[in-house]
Amino acid sequence: MKKLNSSSLLIIFIFLQINVHSTIRYVKAGNPTPIPPYTSWATASDSIQKCINVCVPGDTIYLSEGVFKEQVFMIPGLSIIGNGMINTIIDCATVVPQGSTRHIIFMQDSSSITDLTLRVAIFIPTIDAGINANHLIKVKVKNIFFDYVRYPLGASDAVISNSIFYFSNTTLTSASIERPYQIDFYNNYLIYVGYEVYLSGNTNGQPCKVDLHNNVITLGEYGQIMDNGWSSLFTTYFRNNTVLGFEDDIHNFSPLGTISKNTEITNNLFYINHEYGFNVYGNCKMHNNIFYEVPKLFREAGDGLSFKYNALWKSDIRPWYDSTNIIAYPMVYKMTGIPEEVDGRLQKYSPLIDAGDPGILDPDSSRSDIGPVGGIYGMIYEYADLPPSVPVNLKLRANDTLRTLELKWNPNYEVDFRSYYLYTDTVDNFIADSTKFLLETADTSAVLPIPFTGFGKVYYRIRSKDMQGKLSEASETVGYVVTGVREYEQGKNENKLYDIYPNPTAGKIVIPYRIKEESKVRIVIFDIKGEVLEKTEEEKMGGYYEYEYDILGKEKASGIYIVLLEILNPEKGILIYSEVKKAVLLK
Amino acid 233: pLDDT? 80
pLDDT > 90? residue 315: yes
Residue 203 — pLDDT band, cuts 50, 70, 90?
low
Residue 367 — pLDDT band, cuts 50, 70, 90?
very high
Buried/exposed 201-234: b ≥16 CB within 10 Å, e otherwise: bebbeeebbbbbbbbbbbbbbbbbbbbbbebebb
Amino acid 483: pLDDT? 61
Secondary structure, 3-state, 96-130: CCCCCCCEEEECCCCCEEEEEEEECCCCCCCCCEE
Dihedral sign, CA of 265, 266, 271, 273?
Answer: positive
Give the strand pairing for 72-73 and 332-334. unpaired
Q: In what order do the strands lie in the sheet with 559-568?
A: 532-540, 519-527, 559-568, 575-585
Amino acid 586: pLDDT? 81
pLDDT digits (tens, 9 = 90+) for 79-120: 999 999 999 999 999 999 998 899 999 999 999 999 999 999
Residue 20 — pLDDT band, cuts 50, 70, 90?
low
Lowest-pLDDT range of 33-37, 213-217, 546-550: 546-550
pLDDT digits (tens, 9 = 90+) for 526-550: 887 778 889 999 998 888 888 999 8
Coil/strand/helix, residue 436: helix
The most confident of 60-64, 478-482, 547-551, by mean pLDDT: 60-64
Rounded CA separation 232/258 (Å): 15
Coil/strand/helix, residue 15: helix
Rounded CA separation 97/91 (Å): 12
Rounded CA separation 290/372 (Å): 8
Residue 193 — pLDDT band, cuts 50, 70, 90?
very high
Amino acid 337: pLDDT? 66
Q: Whole-number mean pLDDT of the chain?
A: 90
Lowest-pLDDT range of 115-129, 283-297, 329-343, 508-522: 329-343
Rounded CA separation 166/192 (Å): 7
